[in-house]
Protein backbone atom coordinates (compact mmCIF):
# COMPACT_ATOMS: atom_id res chain seq x y z
CA UNK A 1 0.00 0.00 0.00
CA UNK A 2 1.27 3.49 -0.86
CA UNK A 3 0.71 5.63 2.24
CA UNK A 4 1.10 9.38 2.65
CA UNK A 5 2.43 10.33 6.09
CA UNK A 6 1.94 14.03 6.82
CA UNK A 7 4.47 15.36 9.30
CA UNK A 8 6.56 12.31 8.43
CA UNK A 9 9.85 14.00 9.31
CA UNK A 10 8.69 14.73 12.87
CA UNK A 11 8.83 12.76 16.11
CA UNK A 12 5.87 10.39 15.75
CA UNK A 13 5.69 10.67 11.96
CA UNK A 14 9.24 9.42 11.42
CA UNK A 15 8.50 6.32 13.52
CA UNK A 16 5.29 5.72 11.53
CA UNK A 17 7.32 5.91 8.30
CA UNK A 18 9.83 3.37 9.61
CA UNK A 19 7.15 0.90 10.74
CA UNK A 20 5.24 1.18 7.46
CA UNK A 21 8.38 0.63 5.39
CA UNK A 22 9.35 -2.38 7.51
CA UNK A 23 5.86 -3.80 6.91
CA UNK A 24 6.18 -3.66 3.13
CA UNK A 25 4.24 -0.44 2.54
CA UNK A 26 5.56 2.44 0.42
CA UNK A 27 5.53 5.59 2.58
CA UNK A 28 5.42 9.07 1.07
CA UNK A 29 6.35 11.92 3.41
CA UNK A 30 4.79 15.38 3.31
CA UNK A 31 6.48 17.79 5.70
CA UNK A 32 7.01 21.54 5.64
CA UNK A 33 10.23 21.26 7.70
CA UNK A 34 9.22 24.48 9.43
CA UNK A 35 12.22 26.08 11.17
CA UNK A 36 10.27 26.22 14.44
CA UNK A 37 10.00 22.43 14.45
CA UNK A 38 13.21 21.65 12.54
CA UNK A 39 15.79 24.38 13.31
CA UNK A 40 18.36 22.16 11.61
CA UNK A 41 17.46 20.27 8.45
CA UNK A 42 16.80 16.65 9.45
CA UNK A 43 18.28 13.71 7.63
CA UNK A 44 16.22 13.03 4.50
CA UNK A 45 13.53 10.47 5.34
CA UNK A 46 14.03 6.99 3.95
CA UNK A 47 10.99 7.49 1.75
CA UNK A 48 9.71 9.56 -1.13
CA UNK A 49 9.62 13.13 0.16
CA UNK A 50 7.45 16.12 -0.74
CA UNK A 51 8.35 19.34 1.01
CA UNK A 52 5.21 21.34 1.65
CA UNK A 53 2.75 22.56 4.24
CA UNK A 54 -0.42 20.56 4.84
CA UNK A 55 -2.31 23.86 4.46
CA UNK A 56 -1.02 24.22 0.88
CA UNK A 57 -3.55 22.51 -1.40
CA UNK A 58 -1.09 22.34 -4.31
CA UNK A 59 1.58 20.59 -2.25
CA UNK A 60 -0.97 18.22 -0.75
CA UNK A 61 -2.27 17.38 -4.23
CA UNK A 62 1.23 16.49 -5.42
CA UNK A 63 1.84 14.31 -2.37
CA UNK A 64 -1.43 12.41 -2.86
CA UNK A 65 -0.64 11.15 -6.38
CA UNK A 66 -0.97 7.39 -6.47
CA UNK A 67 -1.64 7.19 -2.72
CA UNK A 68 -3.96 4.53 -1.24
CA UNK A 69 -4.20 5.84 2.34
CA UNK A 70 -3.15 8.75 4.55
CA UNK A 71 -1.66 8.74 8.06
CA UNK A 72 -2.10 12.34 9.22
CA UNK A 73 0.49 13.17 11.88
CA UNK A 74 1.19 16.83 11.05
CA UNK A 75 -0.01 19.04 13.89
CA UNK A 76 0.93 21.66 16.41
CA UNK A 77 0.97 19.86 19.74
CA UNK A 78 1.09 20.47 23.48
CA UNK A 79 -0.57 22.99 25.77
CA UNK A 80 1.53 25.87 24.47
CA UNK A 81 2.39 29.09 26.26
CA UNK A 82 -0.87 31.05 26.42
CA UNK A 83 -4.05 31.80 24.49
CA UNK A 84 -2.11 33.92 22.01
CA UNK A 85 -1.13 30.61 20.37
CA UNK A 86 -4.78 29.90 19.46
CA UNK A 87 -4.73 31.15 15.84
CA UNK A 88 -1.66 29.08 15.01
CA UNK A 89 -3.13 25.95 16.61
CA UNK A 90 -6.36 26.35 14.65
CA UNK A 91 -4.51 27.05 11.41
CA UNK A 92 -2.11 24.13 11.69
CA UNK A 93 -4.51 21.56 13.06
CA UNK A 94 -7.98 22.38 11.78
CA UNK A 95 -7.38 24.31 8.57
CA UNK A 96 -4.59 21.88 7.68
CA UNK A 97 -6.85 18.88 8.21
CA UNK A 98 -9.64 20.48 6.16
CA UNK A 99 -7.29 21.19 3.25
CA UNK A 100 -5.97 17.62 3.38
CA UNK A 101 -9.41 16.01 3.51
CA UNK A 102 -10.69 18.19 0.67
CA UNK A 103 -7.72 17.14 -1.46
CA UNK A 104 -8.34 13.49 -0.58
CA UNK A 105 -11.97 13.84 -1.66
CA UNK A 106 -10.86 15.22 -5.02
CA UNK A 107 -8.17 12.55 -5.47
CA UNK A 108 -10.42 9.64 -4.53
CA UNK A 109 -8.30 8.54 -1.54
CA UNK A 110 -10.68 6.86 0.90
CA UNK A 111 -8.58 5.64 3.86
CA UNK A 112 -7.67 8.12 6.57
CA UNK A 113 -5.88 7.57 9.88
CA UNK A 114 -5.20 10.61 12.02
CA UNK A 115 -3.27 11.37 15.16
CA UNK A 116 -5.96 12.06 17.71
CA UNK A 117 -5.35 12.70 21.39
CA UNK A 118 -6.56 11.80 24.85
CA UNK A 119 -6.99 15.53 25.50
CA UNK A 120 -10.44 15.44 23.88
CA UNK A 121 -11.78 13.81 27.07
CA UNK A 122 -10.72 16.50 29.51
CA UNK A 123 -10.56 14.72 32.84
CA UNK A 124 -10.58 10.94 32.84
CA UNK A 125 -13.11 8.56 34.35
CA UNK A 126 -14.04 9.00 38.01
CA UNK A 127 -16.34 7.23 40.44
CA UNK A 128 -17.89 8.62 43.60
CA UNK A 129 -18.73 6.12 46.33
CA UNK A 130 -22.17 7.65 46.66
CA UNK A 131 -23.03 8.72 43.12
CA UNK A 132 -21.25 6.30 40.83
CA UNK A 133 -19.57 7.57 37.65
CA UNK A 134 -19.37 11.38 37.63
CA UNK A 135 -17.65 14.03 35.54
CA UNK A 136 -15.96 16.75 37.58
CA UNK A 137 -15.69 20.21 36.07
CA UNK A 138 -12.45 22.14 35.53
CA UNK A 139 -10.41 22.59 38.68
CA UNK A 140 -10.60 26.04 40.24
CA UNK A 141 -7.47 28.16 40.39
CA UNK A 142 -8.09 28.81 44.10
CA UNK A 143 -8.04 25.07 44.83
CA UNK A 144 -4.85 24.56 42.85
CA UNK A 145 -3.16 27.49 44.58
CA UNK A 146 -4.08 25.92 47.92
CA UNK A 147 -2.63 22.55 46.91
CA UNK A 148 -6.03 20.90 46.52
CA UNK A 149 -5.32 19.06 43.30
CA UNK A 150 -7.79 16.18 43.35
CA UNK A 151 -11.17 16.74 41.67
CA UNK A 152 -14.20 16.34 43.92
CA UNK A 153 -17.62 14.91 43.25
CA UNK A 154 -19.71 17.69 41.66
CA UNK A 155 -22.76 16.47 43.59
CA UNK A 156 -21.53 15.82 47.12
CA UNK A 157 -17.97 17.12 47.23
CA UNK A 158 -16.47 13.77 48.29
CA UNK A 159 -13.21 12.40 46.94
CA UNK A 160 -13.22 10.41 43.70
CA UNK A 161 -11.55 7.22 42.51
CA UNK A 162 -9.93 7.54 39.05
CA UNK A 163 -10.32 4.76 36.48
CA UNK A 164 -9.73 4.00 32.80
CA UNK A 165 -11.48 6.13 30.19
CA UNK A 166 -12.93 4.43 27.12
CA UNK A 167 -13.82 5.85 23.72
CA UNK A 168 -17.49 6.28 24.58
CA UNK A 169 -16.74 8.87 27.27
CA UNK A 170 -18.14 12.31 26.36
CA UNK A 171 -15.69 14.81 24.92
CA UNK A 172 -14.80 17.73 27.18
CA UNK A 173 -11.79 19.64 25.74
CA UNK A 174 -10.30 22.09 28.24
CA UNK A 175 -7.67 24.02 26.29
CA UNK A 176 -7.05 25.27 22.75
CA UNK A 177 -5.03 22.25 21.66
CA UNK A 178 -7.72 19.86 22.90
CA UNK A 179 -10.40 21.84 21.09
CA UNK A 180 -8.53 21.64 17.80
CA UNK A 181 -7.99 17.88 18.17
CA UNK A 182 -11.72 17.33 18.68
CA UNK A 183 -12.47 19.53 15.66
CA UNK A 184 -10.15 17.34 13.58
CA UNK A 185 -12.22 14.31 14.53
CA UNK A 186 -15.44 16.03 13.51
CA UNK A 187 -13.89 17.02 10.17
CA UNK A 188 -12.80 13.42 9.58
CA UNK A 189 -16.27 12.12 10.39
CA UNK A 190 -17.87 14.64 8.01
CA UNK A 191 -15.41 13.67 5.26
CA UNK A 192 -16.17 9.96 5.74
CA UNK A 193 -19.93 10.52 5.51
CA UNK A 194 -19.55 12.68 2.41
CA UNK A 195 -17.16 10.43 0.49
CA UNK A 196 -17.89 6.94 1.80
CA UNK A 197 -14.34 6.81 3.09
CA UNK A 198 -13.03 5.16 6.24
CA UNK A 199 -11.76 7.50 8.98
CA UNK A 200 -9.97 6.49 12.17
CA UNK A 201 -8.76 8.75 14.98
CA UNK A 202 -6.08 7.19 17.16
CA UNK A 203 -6.34 8.96 20.50
CA UNK A 204 -2.73 8.88 21.60
CA UNK A 205 -2.07 9.01 25.31
CA UNK A 206 1.29 10.29 26.60
CA UNK A 207 3.69 9.37 23.80
CA UNK A 208 7.41 9.29 24.55
CA UNK A 209 10.56 7.80 23.08
CA UNK A 210 13.68 8.47 21.00
CA UNK A 211 13.58 11.59 18.88
CA UNK A 212 11.27 13.69 21.06
CA UNK A 213 11.91 17.43 20.67
CA UNK A 214 13.79 19.10 23.49
CA UNK A 215 13.52 22.45 25.25
CA UNK A 216 10.10 23.41 23.96
CA UNK A 217 6.91 24.49 25.79
CA UNK A 218 4.88 22.59 23.18
CA UNK A 219 6.06 19.06 23.98
CA UNK A 220 4.78 16.58 26.54
CA UNK A 221 5.90 16.14 30.11
CA UNK A 222 8.31 13.32 29.22
CA UNK A 223 10.18 15.71 26.94
CA UNK A 224 10.28 18.40 29.65
CA UNK A 225 11.89 16.00 32.11
CA UNK A 226 14.33 14.50 29.61
CA UNK A 227 15.38 17.97 28.46
CA UNK A 228 16.07 19.03 32.04
CA UNK A 229 18.20 15.95 32.68
CA UNK A 230 20.18 16.60 29.50
CA UNK A 231 20.97 20.09 30.86
CA UNK A 232 22.07 18.59 34.17
CA UNK A 233 19.00 19.97 35.94
CA UNK A 234 16.43 18.26 38.15
CA UNK A 235 13.08 17.54 36.49
CA UNK A 236 10.47 19.90 37.94
CA UNK A 237 7.29 17.97 38.77
CA UNK A 238 4.17 20.09 38.95
CA UNK A 239 1.38 19.72 41.51
CA UNK A 240 2.29 16.89 43.91
CA UNK A 241 3.45 14.45 41.24
CA UNK A 242 0.50 12.11 41.80
CA UNK A 243 -1.20 12.89 38.47
CA UNK A 244 -1.89 9.59 36.68
CA UNK A 245 -1.08 9.15 33.00
CA UNK A 246 -0.62 6.34 30.49
CA UNK A 247 2.86 6.61 28.98
CA UNK A 248 2.96 4.79 25.63
CA UNK A 249 6.13 4.26 23.60
CA UNK A 250 6.33 5.89 20.18
CA UNK A 251 7.08 2.60 18.42
CA UNK A 252 3.86 1.13 19.81
CA UNK A 253 2.00 4.22 18.56
CA UNK A 254 3.53 3.74 15.11
CA UNK A 255 2.49 0.09 15.16
CA UNK A 256 -1.08 1.16 15.96
CA UNK A 257 -1.13 3.18 12.73
CA UNK A 258 0.04 0.12 10.80
CA UNK A 259 -2.61 -2.04 12.52
CA UNK A 260 -5.36 0.31 11.37
CA UNK A 261 -4.16 0.09 7.76
CA UNK A 262 -3.95 -3.70 7.99
CA UNK A 263 -7.51 -3.90 9.30
CA UNK A 264 -8.98 -1.16 7.13
CA UNK A 265 -11.15 -3.53 5.11
CA UNK A 266 -13.07 -4.46 8.25
CA UNK A 267 -13.84 -0.87 9.23
CA UNK A 268 -17.14 0.78 8.26
CA UNK A 269 -17.18 2.72 4.98
CA UNK A 270 -18.62 6.15 5.52
CA UNK A 271 -17.86 5.97 9.23
CA UNK A 272 -15.47 7.37 11.80
CA UNK A 273 -14.00 5.21 14.57
CA UNK A 274 -11.91 6.36 17.56
CA UNK A 275 -9.41 4.15 19.35
CA UNK A 276 -7.43 4.86 22.50
CA UNK A 277 -3.72 4.11 22.14
CA UNK A 278 -2.17 3.53 25.55
CA UNK A 279 0.13 1.11 27.31
CA UNK A 280 -2.51 -0.18 29.72
CA UNK A 281 -0.01 0.38 32.56
CA UNK A 282 -0.73 3.74 34.22
CA UNK A 283 1.91 5.55 36.27
CA UNK A 284 2.06 8.86 38.06
CA UNK A 285 4.01 11.77 36.64
CA UNK A 286 6.24 11.59 39.70
CA UNK A 287 7.00 7.93 39.06
CA UNK A 288 7.92 8.69 35.47
CA UNK A 289 10.24 11.53 36.50
CA UNK A 290 11.93 9.33 39.10
CA UNK A 291 12.41 6.47 36.63
CA UNK A 292 13.95 8.78 34.03
CA UNK A 293 16.24 10.44 36.55
CA UNK A 294 17.42 7.10 37.97
CA UNK A 295 18.20 5.71 34.52
CA UNK A 296 19.91 8.93 33.44
CA UNK A 297 21.99 9.12 36.61
CA UNK A 298 20.25 12.07 38.26
CA UNK A 299 19.63 14.67 39.46
CA UNK A 300 16.52 13.57 41.33
CA UNK A 301 13.18 15.23 40.54
CA UNK A 302 11.88 18.18 42.54
CA UNK A 303 8.15 18.37 43.30
CA UNK A 304 7.24 22.05 43.02
CA UNK A 305 3.51 22.38 43.66
CA UNK A 306 3.25 24.58 40.55
CA UNK A 307 0.34 24.04 38.18
CA UNK A 308 -0.98 25.01 34.76
CA UNK A 309 -4.61 25.92 34.22
CA UNK A 310 -5.96 23.62 31.51
CA UNK A 311 -4.04 20.58 32.75
CA UNK A 312 -6.14 17.67 33.97
CA UNK A 313 -5.47 15.56 37.04
CA UNK A 314 -5.88 11.95 35.92
CA UNK A 315 -6.34 10.53 32.43
CA UNK A 316 -5.52 6.88 31.71
CA UNK A 317 -6.57 4.76 28.77
CA UNK A 318 -8.78 1.77 28.25
CA UNK A 319 -7.26 0.52 24.98
CA UNK A 320 -9.24 -2.74 24.87
CA UNK A 321 -11.15 -1.72 21.73
CA UNK A 322 -7.94 -1.43 19.70
CA UNK A 323 -6.60 -4.68 21.12
CA UNK A 324 -9.84 -6.52 20.42
CA UNK A 325 -10.77 -5.17 16.99
CA UNK A 326 -7.36 -4.71 15.34
CA UNK A 327 -5.18 -7.22 17.22
CA UNK A 328 -2.81 -4.54 18.51
CA UNK A 329 -0.98 -4.68 21.80
CA UNK A 330 1.92 -2.63 23.17
CA UNK A 331 5.35 -4.25 23.15
CA UNK A 332 7.49 -1.75 25.09
CA UNK A 333 6.98 -1.84 28.86
CA UNK A 334 7.39 1.14 31.17
CA UNK A 335 10.76 0.16 32.67
CA UNK A 336 12.27 -0.79 29.33
CA UNK A 337 10.94 2.30 27.60
CA UNK A 338 12.13 4.72 30.27
CA UNK A 339 15.58 3.13 30.36
CA UNK A 340 15.89 3.59 26.60
CA UNK A 341 14.47 7.12 26.62
CA UNK A 342 16.80 8.23 29.41
CA UNK A 343 19.77 7.54 27.11
CA UNK A 344 18.26 8.30 23.71
CA UNK A 345 18.92 11.42 21.71
CA UNK A 346 16.36 14.19 21.35
CA UNK A 347 15.80 16.37 18.33
CA UNK A 348 16.64 20.05 18.50
CA UNK A 349 13.75 22.48 18.76
CA UNK A 350 13.50 26.20 18.27
CA UNK A 351 10.44 26.36 20.45
CA UNK A 352 7.35 25.25 18.52
CA UNK A 353 5.69 21.92 18.45
CA UNK A 354 4.76 20.68 14.99
CA UNK A 355 5.16 16.92 14.82
Nearest CA among 259, 264, 263, 256 for reference residue 109? 264
Contact 108, 193 (CB under 8 A): no
Catalytic (active site) residue 121: no
Q: Which phi and psi (to 5°) does residue 163 adopt?
A: -140, -165
Contact present, 67 and 109 (Cβ < 8 Å)? yes
From the candidates 89, 121, 177, 218, give the one annotated as an active-site residue.
Answer: 177
Which residues are known catalytic residues?
Answer: 177
Amino acid sequence: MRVLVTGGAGFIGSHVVAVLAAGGHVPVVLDALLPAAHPRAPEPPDAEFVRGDVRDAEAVGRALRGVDAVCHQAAMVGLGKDFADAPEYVACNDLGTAVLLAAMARAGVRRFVQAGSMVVYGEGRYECRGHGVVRPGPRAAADLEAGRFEPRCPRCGDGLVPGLVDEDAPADPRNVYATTKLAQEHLAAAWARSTGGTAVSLRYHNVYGPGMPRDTPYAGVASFFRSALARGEAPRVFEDGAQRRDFVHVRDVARANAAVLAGAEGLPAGGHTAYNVGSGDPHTVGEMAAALAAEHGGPAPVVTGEFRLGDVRHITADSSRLRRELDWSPEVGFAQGMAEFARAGQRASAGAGQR
